Chains A and B, each alone.
Chain A
């Protein structure tokens, strides 16, 4: 299991388009990617659930990656977050 924290810098928060792209990205991994924010958690592949976390700017999210390709998946998700959110 890999876990890391990330603070949202995007003005709108985790909004529809990056949430959609994140879900696409995570569907390509064997690992399960979970995002926790505001006391709720959502699977990263589920666009609407991720949006319902209501993660706004300055929200700290916790990303948990579990599975065969967790090392690589965690790196890619972290890179995605840094670039897009």
Chain B
């Protein structure tokens, strides 16, 4: 049994098999093998398993991303069955008495070099495919599992997970995750909270943990590897206890989120994908206060088309019926990077070319999204929210573009509904001039994560600063108070969609300040409802 201390992201318990995810090439060492026939059998079995995996990936991709994108997995299967490749592996094992993974590594290197030396770009690029199939077989030979194709629920251990990697994860098979890097405010952390998944950061993983049993204790930020019988029993009891608590909260379902003073607070949910809708509905949210549209861009290999976006927005609008769905326009940049945007690396991306700044410069991207959003508004109660605003000028420009889009749709005879348009208050500038912004918009939603990082001058990706990142800082609370007052003076509503909205130690204070709406992770809905009812 081994105990490691980290920082908890989501304070609950998870018990399960550990899965070590490594981006680096796997280490292969040459070993002498006596029984070469047996070693060839080991290779053949691993190869069969790799082909099975690829075939499953092909089916999955076919359903999710279509035939063209799925083809690569079929090609990989064919390459693994290539005679020359297999002859080379067999030969190395028998003639040099080496282990199967070493033979595969050498063969993979040789074949990938042959392709890399070719002139034509297409054929050159196939060297990556050869490496890929070889690494798949080596991983299987070393007893590893496939991240995108997990067979059983696991706790994922990784150095770090990029948002583009977390979207690949099969959420059904994810019990929890433990990363070495990342701060408690990174997007991976937010994802953990959204998905209701216990997670720890600041723990360095070890490949030898693969397949061992592990426990995440989210209450005190501990990871226990290979627990003894007694510890395991204790945590199993804790899991049952948490389950019981959850059931108690369930009783609040269907009850109003109304304060002791009789004020109704709109309790909405934050989501990042269509697949989160089930948890919104089961959590009893009155609407969606923040639907991050980035997933459409992160999941795709190229700019998502108007039709593709429209289909998703429509699905959400229809699923939520007459309940409000606030969709935030593209918030790419900073720690959320997408290859095909071709954004140059910046020294200070949090203050760089991101979100609405991209949309106002590359208006074709923005217009495509707005067209999809307005079209979807005919099928439900959609509102649009714009991120990273710093000036009235930006808001006026945005509204002008939105008007153009509406005119175009009208001219084309395409229906759209009434759409509320609001802005996120996540820069100190926007908070300070909220009196000037309010006349031009329908609502304010405070993004407390960015507002905190900009106000306190603390990079939320910098784990070293986690201890002074004080979300309860008086400066933040005063800014929020100012935003609420300016909203009410202009007859619009103000809410919070940042992490602070789910902080139940602050609910009473926010209610006293006059907050109209709180939008929180689906997993926090009932807990926040409880806090509102006690305020």
Contact = CB atoms under 8 A, between A and B. Distances in A.
Contact of B78 (A16, A43, A54, A56): A16
Contact of A47 (B71, B82, B123): B82
Contacts of A48: 79, 82, 84-85, 111, 114, 130
B479 to A, nearest CB: 56
A33 interface: no
B118 interface: yes
A37 B389 CA distance: 60
A54 B84 contact: no
Nearest to A15: B122
A16 to B, nearest CB: 4
Interface string B92-127: 000000000000000000010011001110110010
Interface of A: 12-13, 15-17, 19-20, 23-24, 43, 45-49, 51-52, 54, 56
B126 A51 contact: yes
Nearest to B77: A20
Nearest to A12: B122
B137 to A, nearest CB: 15
Contact of B83 (A12, A17, A46): A46
Contact of B71 (A17, A24, A49): A17
Top 7 A-B pairs ranked by shortest CB distance? A20-B78, A16-B75, A48-B82, A47-B82, A46-B83, A12-B122, A46-B84
Contacts of A49: 84
A46 B114 CA distance: 15
Interface residues of B, number: 21
Nearest to B81: A47
A51 B123 contact: yes
A29 B190 CA distance: 57
Q: Name, among A16, A17, A46, A56, the residue most crowded by chain B CB atoms within 10 Å (CB to CB).
A: A16
Contact of B79 (A43, A45, A47): A47
B74 interface: yes
B129 interface: yes
Interface of B: 71, 74-75, 78-79, 81-85, 111, 114-115, 118-120, 122-123, 126, 129-130
Contacts of B85: 48
Contact of B123 (A17, A24, A43, A52): A52
A10 to B, nearest CB: 11
Contact of B114 (A23, A45, A52): A52
Contacts of A56: 120
Given A13-B123, A20-B75, A52-B123, 4 more contacts: A15-B122, A20-B78, A20-B79, A43-B83
B119 A54 contact: yes
Q: Name, among B79, B118, B123, the residue most crowded by chain A CB atoms within 10 Å (CB to CB).
A: B123
23 contacts: A12-B122, A13-B122, A13-B123, A16-B78, A16-B126, A16-B129, A17-B74, A17-B75, A19-B78, A23-B82, A46-B82, A47-B78, A47-B81, A48-B82, A48-B111, A48-B114, A48-B130, A49-B84, A51-B115, A52-B114, A52-B118, A54-B119, A54-B123
Nearest to B75: A16
B51 to A, nearest CB: 13
Nearest to A23: B78
B85 to A, nearest CB: 6
A54 B118 contact: yes
A19 B115 CA distance: 15
B115 A52 contact: yes
A48 B78 CA distance: 9
A54 B116 CA distance: 12
